[in-house]
Amino acid sequence: MDCIFCKIINGEIPGKKIYEDDKVIAILDINPVVDGHTMIIPKTHVEDYTKLSDDLLLHIYNVANKLCNDIMDKLNSKGMTFTVNYGDSQQVKHFHLHLLPDYSLKDKEKEVDEVYEILSK
Ligand SMILES: [Zn+2]
């Protein structure tokens, strides 16, 4: 299967990973909408949110909780928006939860590599 997220998870192509456990990874979006734009992705190929098991959904929620405060602290963001796309709005057909730090409408200021340096430590 030609899935970019499965390839990142399998190490076939690089990803800017800021979190990993046995069930999920979190990587920076390479075309960020804002600084710190992160995606939490299950390691198993789950097409969209309707296919997520309860266990996996709960786990993703718990990881989001943990990463949310960490990202906000490190990037001085005052809020966070969680986004799940579905149907034609979902570009990659492998479930991912977007974490979008809210800088109160400030423009993007950092390069992805700079954000990666901060969040991967
Ligand atoms: Zn996949």
Q: Are 75 and 38 in contact (CB under 8 A)?
A: no
**Total-model pTM:** 0.86
Active-site residue identified among 37, 59, 94, 96 = 96
Q: What does the pLDDT read at residue 11?
A: 95
Q: Are 39 and 92 in contact (CB under 8 A)?
A: no
What type of residue sits at position 33? V
Tell me what the mean pLDDT of segment 101-119 comes to: 81
Question: For residue 109, what pLDDT band results from cuts at 50, 70 and 90?
Answer: confident
Work out the mean pLDDT of the chain and round it to a whole number. Answer: 93
Tell me what the mean pLDDT of segment 6-31 comes to: 96
96 is known as an active-site residue: yes
Question: How many A from CA of 76 to the centre of ligand 1?
Answer: 32
CA atoms within 13 A on the CB side of 95: 17
Place of tokens 């990666």: 116
Share of the chain above pLDDT 70, in %: 96
Question: For residue 68, what pLDDT band results from cuts at 50, 70 and 90?
Answer: very high
Between CA 52 and CA 82 the distance in angstroms is 17
Question: How many A from CA of 27 to the centre of ligand 1?
Answer: 14
